[in-house]
A and B are shown apart, each in its own frame.
Chain A
Amino acid sequence: MKVFYPVFGFVLFLMVGCFDASEPTLPVYGFKKVVEKTVNGETIIDSLDHQIPPFSLVDQDSTVITEKTVNGKIYLVDFFFTSCFTICPKVKKNMKRVYQTYKDQEDVLILSHSIDYRYDTVGRLAWYADKFGIEAEKWHLLHGSYEDMLRMSYAYLLTALEDKEAPGGFDHSGSIALLDRKRRIRGFYDGTDADKMDDLIRDIAILLNE
């Protein structure tokens, strides 16, 4: 009988490995920027992660939203327009589930950028937010000039542009980007796919623990 004790001990040892799974991590997206800097009189080459540059846009409550609003927060980003009849409603429906999951979590915000700079005024965005049933402190619907929106779409690596051939006059990605506390992109999720929202909800939890 005694011969089983070492075997039992070994099995237990193997099982410990199962419970000691290292914390899951998320990749950092975008191109790294190479910079030269001087440390202790020596010039060294370092690389910086792709970080969203400072910005200034206006939300549905006429509040100016800048990089300071998302400072130290985890946030989601997408591009849409309120009169869109293609993928937007589905993306918004899926995003609302994520919104409801993290509604009471102070460190999570959502920034939805309208690419329809002419029609989607602050008033129109306020109407949309009211009908959609979302709170402005948590989910900002953003208005800005066309140049501002193009610049943001490049920064977030999401397609959004005016296109007369596209339904509604704008072409944009249905993806949602996930940003960490340092304004670095950590994930992309197909907003038209309800199942992908489970991944997004899980990954937000990973970033909250970082």
Chain B
Amino acid sequence: MSRGIQVVSMVVCLILVVGSCNLTAISHVEGEKLYKIHCANCHMEDGSGLAALYPPLQKADYLQSLGVSLSCIIRNGLQEPILVNGVKYEQAMPANDRLSDVEITNICNYVLSKWTDDESYVSLERVKETLSNCQ
């Protein structure tokens, strides 16, 4: 019986250690929370979007090509139609001018790590610099 408890507690410890080692995941947790509040209504929690009305983020060539400039779209929205995986999306995206640079950085890291091949971490400095040069 006590041997069973030992094994269970060892496994729990191992999970905690492995979990806390993954530092980038902490930022993504914050980004995930913000994504669910500000983006998931239209793009859906699983990033699937909605038909030809709201573009998907998962397996989306448009997002893949964006990189850090995603931060500009999050802040300013989109007025022009865009082409995602060959489908034309015409619905305008509203601006999110109440989100801080830090919050946008967190959303970028969550979205880019979850739905693009780019595993690299986007720093706050890079986002600040990109946001000051938005077209």
- B54 — nearest CB in chain A belongs to which residue? A89
Q: Is B51 an interface residue (CB 8 A)?
A: yes
**Are A128 and B41 closer than 8 Å at their CB atoms?**
no
A89 CA / B45 CA spacing, docked (Å): 12
Residues of A within 8 A of B53 (CB): 89, 92, 128, 131-132
Task: Write the nearest CB–CB distance from A166 to chain B, whole angstroms.
Answer: 14
Task: Write the nearest CB–CB distance from B32 to chain A, whole angstroms.
Answer: 17
Of A85, A96, A128, most buried by chain B (CB within 10 Å of CB) is A85
- A87 — nearest CB in chain B belongs to which residue? B41
Residues of A within 8 A of B122 (CB): none
Q: Is B90 an interface residue (CB 8 A)?
A: yes
Residue in B44, B90, B94 whose beta carbon sits within 8 Å of that of A85 in the complex: B94
Which residues of A are at the interface with B, using a C-beta cutoff of 8 A? 83, 85-87, 89-90, 92-93, 96, 128, 130-133
Extra A-B contacts (8), CB below 8 Å, given A89-B50, A128-B53: A86-B41, A89-B41, A89-B54, A90-B41, A92-B53, A132-B51, A132-B52, A133-B52
Which residues of B are at the interface with A, using a C-beta cutoff of 8 A? 40-42, 44, 50-54, 90-91, 94
